[in-house]
Amino acid sequence: MTKTTRTSRRDFIKVSGAALAAGGVSSLPFASASAQSFPSRNINVYVPTREGGGADRNLRAFSNVWKKYLNTNFEPGFYPGASGRVGYELYMGKAKADCYNLIFGNMGPELLNWVVKKPTFEVSDCVYFGRVDTDPGCVFVGANSPFKHIDEIVEEGKKRKLNVGTSRLAHPASIGILALGEHTGAQFNLIPLSGGKNTVAGAVTGEMDFSVLTSGTVAARGDAVRTLLVFNDENVLGERLDNAPTINGHFGTNLPPLLSARAFAIHRAAIEEYPDRFQVLQDSFKKVFADPEYKAAVVKAKGNWEYINYGGISECEAYAKDIQALGERFRPLLTGRS
Amino acid sequence: MEFSPDLFASLFFHTIGYWWVIIPSILLGLIVGAIPGFSAANTIIILLPLTLVMDVEVGLIFMVALYCSSRMGAGIPAILVNIPGTAGAAATPLDGYPMTKAGKAQQALAISFVSSTAGGLLTTVVALLTMPWLARVSFYMHSVEMIVVMLFGISLIATIAARDTLKGLIAGFFGLMIGAIGTDHVYATPRGTFGFLELYDGVPLIPALVGLFAVSESFLMIEGESILSQHGKDVIRKSGWAATLEGARIAVFRWWHITWNSLIGLVIGVIPGAGASIASFVAYQQSRTYSKTPERYGTGHPEGLIAPESANNGVTSGTLIPLMILGIPGGATAAIMLVVMQYHGVILGPALFTDYPELGYGVFMAMAVTYLMMIFTVLPLARYMSRVTLLSTVYMAPLVIAFTLVGSFVPREYMFDMYLALAFGVIGYIARKTGYHVAAILIGVILGPLLEQYFLRALKMSDGDLMVLFSSNIGNVLWMLLVFSVTLSLYMQHRRRSTDSAEDGKSR
């Protein structure tokens, strides 16, 4: 299931040869030699969702360009299950912490997962270091819905409890609608529908009063849906999200952007043991964003280039802190223990 | 979206021009459908880079042809060696395999091929003509209604239990308990996972399917030299093309049965999230309920084979309707088609049929042409495929176990799933040896989690009010039909028993 990795004889000879050529083994620290040869083989990427989904497309587009800067290939392995929990547990439990094993996940829902239910590993041992995009959550209805504006939803929510479809309870968009309810006094009943496809279907077929989801997915559905609110400081997609207002702008709330953010993470132990290798990963990761080839790949795959948003280790840390604080605040509602 | 005979005629001939894509796709689909664990969905994902560089029309024709033929392919091992290739073919061996054991594998395959193609073709034509209205089905079939649809399928357990009430019910409840393993659908609380992460998403279907049916069957095979009796072997050896024609005749003669069950499949296929596994069990249950010879079901009755095969092919066109009209994929394969269409900038919805009619209608036309070509390319193969059953169990049992274990591994690539298939094989073997029906266990495993999902959703939406189950008009009509269907089945059974005992009395 997982590939255990260790320095092979060939790797050792290669590193030793490079060191000798540079002026003798005794004068060169091993870690430095190892960094210069990094990566000497393919890098495994654990993906905690299914093949063919958004993460898969996103990863392919990014790694196809990143590999140029590392002169190696990326080998994705898909380990779906339990809202990403299976993939993370396998990565932290079985993959070797040597910088040759990374995980590519969705920071928002997954960090909320850990707030709702602690994993078997220490959360801080898994370090997000490379954010690829930021995709804000949004409120949307089906094209035939009687709701034309977010104010109508809030008004109706004050009269009766509205059913709200969401891909899963522990999701930034779910937090967004709970925060809106708290702010306005409207009552919302979150119904987890197991994935984006069902969440869109819930809104379009009218089973739900409305749904919440990442706006990138909603924008891709075109005229079948209508966006009414965006959980971000700005609606950067504009027309593609029906020029919907933002929650802070329209309601005067002070919420941080409620984003899903796809990002690469790595074992903390790998960073500590192989700092030079980690530096190579970080430097090369950043270069991809300036590469026109990457933009072309995203645009060709009908992705939203506006959502491509570089984030390093500090941006990821700040994001994690915000989302975990929100998760703790709404924990009783997300776990049904209110 | 107006009906235009000229457009349809030109599209038909245009699509036939793509025979060079359709025929290889049919053969590929048959192979991947027949191998447990592989399916149209994961094959298309593997070939996604290839599909994306193709012209969008060629890519869609390729995917549609693969999708249709893989559905039919899944029935082949189900009939020949009791291995359903996918959950959608889980009801196929109930009568298909007993036919094989009676030396009628060739007829069974022919019945399956004709039912699949005729059912698929018919529902494609119906879909083409009624798309805007059929798309509305998903606006009315919500969680409450789906609970009742699930109960139609689950009531099969009661039918099976009728032969040995206690054992049938124990097997059914055992299956439902296995189906409850995994995290719950609302708060993701793990239940009965025994600490195994691999069970967090529930018991994976393919290992359960192949374990209960194929692995346990292989253990039984080892006890004999052949899966066929000497008479069965003689029949297979002597059978020529006439046996294929006989099978085709049996299916064609039951055209009404094909029509009715494929339409059940079409309607269930339109509902997002529902799929072939539900359709095939519901069709089997309905077919048996209204049959004049229900007692023959499970013993190799052609109608018991026609029902699931025509229904699961009816689903294929159904799943594409919400995709094309509403942009909501009805199933896993349709979801991948959505990715390809979005990649090529195709905007789905009613405008597709006016802006790009060659694509909107073309997808369904490709399906119709595929089914037409399938009958001519696949039907002649029945004679040769059926020869597999002559293989000695010395070779067949290990081959079946090897194939099924690989098939268990493929969908998730977990070694755990191979062990799970073996564990289910042992459970299935013990069940068979002690007179418990593995199909009853499997119905619980497949439909139990779906029923729970819809049930919890309905309860959550109503704040725990059980009366929500009777809150919809369509749901209430379905409840009445369910009660009628189960009562009729019990009444017919009672009447038959009375008649049998009266005849026994006379003969004494």
B188 and A204 within 8 Å at the Cβ level: the answer is no
Q: Kindly state whether residue A294 falls inside one of the protein's structural domains.
A: yes
How many DSSP H helices and E strands does chain B contain?
A: 26, 2
A83 contacts B328? CB cut-off 8 A: no
**A143-171: burial string, b at 16+ Cβ within 10 Å, e else:** eebebeebeebbebbeeeebbbbbbbbbb
pLDDT number for residue B161: 66
Tell me the pLDDT of chain A averaged across its residues: 85
Residues A226 and A244: their CA atoms lie apart, in Å, by 9
Please indicate, yes or no, whether residues A86 and A226 belong to a single structural domain of this protein.
no
CA distance A155 to chain B (A): 19
Residues A126 and A162 in one domain: no
Q: What pLDDT, in 10s, does the model give residues A13-34? A: 443 344 444 433 333 344 444 5
pLDDT cut 90: percent of chain A above it: 57
Tell me whether residue A281 is exposed, middle or buried, using C-beta atoms within 10 angstroms of its C-beta: 0 to 12, 13 to 18, 19 or more: buried
* Shared domain check, A208 and A65: no
Is residue A252, in this structure, part of any structural domain at all?
A: yes
Could you say which of A239, A258, A277 is where a domain stops?
A258
User: CA A11 → CA A2, A18, A26, B249, distances in Å?
Assistant: 20, 11, 18, 66
Contact partners, residue A145, CB within 8 Å, separation at least 6: A203, A206, A209, A210, A226
Q: Residue A125 to residues A95, B178, B197: CA-CA distances in angstroms?
A: 13, 35, 19
Provide the β-strand partners of residue A308.
Answer: A133
Distances (CA, A) of B319 to B67, B271, B447: 11, 7, 19
Q: Are residues A181 and A97 in the same domain?
A: no
CB of B150 closer than 8 Å to CB of B451:
yes
Token look-up 């006379």 returns B506
Compute chain B's Rg from CA coordinates.
22
Q: Are A252 and A144 in the same domain?
A: yes
**Domain CATH number, residue A323:** 3.40.190.150
Residue B190 near chain A (CB below 8 Å) = yes
> What number is the average pLDDT over the span A273-298?
93
pLDDT of residue A16: 39
pLDDT of residue A23: 39
Give the separation between CA A170 and CA A166, rounded to whole angstroms: 9
Strand partners, A78: A47
Helix A275-288 and helix A54-70, axial crossing angle in degrees, nearest 10: 110
Q: Which of A98, A87, A63 is nearest to A278 (CA)?
A: A98
Q: What is the CA radius of gyration of chain A?
A: 22
d(CA B180, CA B183): 8
Least confident of A220-224, A231-235, A283-287, B278-282: A220-224
pLDDT higher than 80, residue B205: yes
Q: What is the pLDDT of residues A148-157, one digit of tens each?
A: 999 999 999 9
Kindly tell me if the per-residue pLDDT of B278 is higher than 60: yes
pLDDT of residue A285: 95
Is residue B506 predicted with pLDDT exceeding 90?
no
The secondary element (H helix, E strand) that includes residue B182 is strand B182-183
C-alpha A233/C-alpha A254 separation (Å) is 10
Q: Pick A224 or A19 by higher pLDDT.
A: A224
pLDDT-based confidence at residue B389 (cuts at 50, 70, 90): confident
The nearest alpha carbon in chain A to B139 belongs to: A205
A136, A231 in Cβ contact below 8 A?
Answer: yes
Residue of chain B whose alpha carbon sits nearest to that of A209: B461
Task: Compute, in degrees rounded to 10, the torsion defined by CA atoms A65, A67, A71, A75.
Answer: -160
A227: three-class secondary structure by DSSP:
strand
**Stretch among A77-81, A150-154, B128-132, B492-496 having the lowest mean pLDDT:** B492-496
What pLDDT is stored for residue A314 in this prediction? 94
Residues of A whose CB is below 8 A from B45 = 51-52
**Helix and strand counts by DSSP (H, E) for chain A:** 15, 12
Q: Tally the C-alpha atoms within 13 A of residue B439's C-alpha that lie toward its C-beta.
A: 27
Between B397 and B328, residue with greater pLDDT: B397
Question: How far apart, in whole angstroms, are the C-alpha atoms of residue B364 and residue B316?
Answer: 10
| A18 within some domain | no
Segment among B9-18, B98-107, B278-287, B498-507 with least mean pLDDT = B498-507
Q: How far apart are CA B265 and CA B261, in angstroms?
A: 6
Using the predicted structure, report yes or no on whether residue A4 has a pLDDT greater than 60. Answer: no
Question: Residue A260 phi/psi, 5° resolution?
Answer: -95, 135
Query: B139 in contact with A at a CB cutoff of 8 Å?
Result: yes
Whether residue A334 is contained in a domain is answered as: no
What's residue B497's pLDDT? 74
Please report the pLDDT score of residue A1 as a whole number.
35
pLDDT at B2: 59
Of the candidate ranges A28-37, B22-31, B467-476, the one whose mean pLDDT is the lowest: A28-37
How far, CA to CA in Å, does B339 sit from each of B323, B328, B439? 11, 11, 35
- Summarize the confidence of residues B319-341 as an average pLDDT: 78
- Identify whether A141 is part of a domain: yes
- Residues A253 and A155 placed together within one structural domain of the fold: yes
Q: What is the pLDDT of residue A214?
A: 92
Report chain B's mean pLDDT, rounded to a whole number: 85
Query: With contacts defined as CB-CB under 8 Å, which chain B residues touch A205?
Result: 138-139, 142, 272, 326, 328
Q: Are residues A155 and A243 in the same domain?
A: yes
What local confidence, expressed as pLDDT, does residue B508 receive?
59
CA distance B451 to B147: 6
Write the residue in B45, B185, B329 that is nearest to A194 by C-beta: B185
Return d(Cα B276, Cα B292) in angstroms, integer.
25
Q: How would residue A10 be classed by pLDDT, with cut points 50, 70 and 90? A: very low
Contact list, B415 vs chain A (CB under 8 Å): 1
User: How would you classify the pairing of strands A101-106 and A43-47?
Assistant: parallel
- What is the structure's pLDDT at A14? 46
Distance, CA of A176 to CA of A211 (rounded, Å)? 12
User: Are A190 and A290 members of one domain?
Assistant: no
Strands (E), chain A: 43-47, 74-78, 101-106, 126-133, 135-142, 162-166, 188-192, 210-214, 225-230, 259-260, 262-267, 308-311
Residues pairing with A133 in the sheet: A308
Contact list, B269 vs chain A (CB under 8 Å) = none
Which segment, A194-208, B116-130, B212-226, B237-251, is predicted with the most confidence on average?
B116-130
- Tell me the sheet residues that pair with A225: A142
Q: Could you say which of A194, A207, A222 has the minimum Cβ distance to residue B142?
A: A207
What angle in degrees, to the nearest 10, is found between the helix axes of A54-70 and A292-300?
Answer: 160
Higher pLDDT, B129 or A83: B129
Domain finish residue from A238, A258, A278? A258
The CB density around residue A28, as the number of other CB atoms within 10 Å, is 17
Q: How high is the pLDDT of residue A338?
A: 57
Nearest-CA distance A282 → chain B (Å): 28
Chain B residue with CA closest to A113: the answer is: B188
According to the model, what pLDDT value does residue B274 have? 67
CB atoms within 10 A of CB B456: 17
How many residues can be counted in chain A? 338
What pLDDT score was predicted for residue B152?
Answer: 85
* Contact status, residue B429 vs residue B216, Cβ threshold 8 Å: yes
pLDDT at position B55 over 70: yes
Distance in angstroms (rounded) separating the CA atoms of residues A18 and A36:
9
pLDDT, tens digit, 9 for 90 and up, residues A245-266: 999 999 999 888 898 899 999 9
CB distance A316 to A131 below 8 Å: yes
- Report the CATH number at residue A219: 3.40.190.10
Whether A325 maps to a domain, the answer reads yes
Mark whether A190 and A232 lie in a shared domain: yes
Interface of A with B (CB under 8 A): 1, 51-52, 57, 77-83, 85-86, 89-90, 116-117, 161, 163, 168-170, 189, 191-194, 197-198, 200-201, 204-207, 220-224, 300-302, 335-336
Cα(A41)–Cα(A278) distance, integer angstroms: 15
Q: Binning pLDDT at 50, 70 and 90, where does residue A115 land?
A: confident
Q: Which domain holds residue A67?
A: 39-134+261-329
Return the biggest CA–CA distance within chain B. Answer: 76
Name residue B6's amino acid. D
Which of A258, A276, A294 finishes a domain? A258
**Interface contact A169-B453, CB threshold 8 A:** no
Give strand pairing partners of A311: A131
Residue A106 in any domain: the answer is yes
Burial of B83 (0-12, 13-18, 19+ CB in 10 A): buried
**Residue A98 CA neighbour count, 13 Å, CB half:** 18
Same-domain check for residues A160 and A95: no
Tokens of B181: 């393993």
Tokens of A240: 């593609």
Q: Report residue B448 as tokens.
A: 């139990």
Residues A251 and A305 in one domain: no
d(CA A298, CA A214): 17
Contact of B45 with chain A, judged by CB distance below 8 Å, is answered with yes
Judging contacts by C-beta atoms under 8 Å, the chain A residues touching residue B188 are 82-83, 116-117, 168-170
- Determine the pLDDT at residue B165: 75
Q: What is the dihedral of CA B167, B172, B176, B179, to 10 degrees?
A: 100
Does residue A157 sit within a domain? yes
How does residue A36 score in pLDDT terms, banded at 50, 70 and 90?
A: low
Residues A302 and A158 in one domain: no
Q: Give residue B412's identity as a one-letter amino acid code.
A: R
Q: How much is the pLDDT for A265?
A: 96
- Is A197's CB within 8 Å of B335's CB? yes
- Strand-pairing partners, residue A104, are A264
Separation of alpha carbons A250 and A257, rounded Å: 14
**How does residue B190 score in pLDDT terms, banded at 50, 70 and 90?**
confident
Quote the number of domains for chain A.
Answer: 2
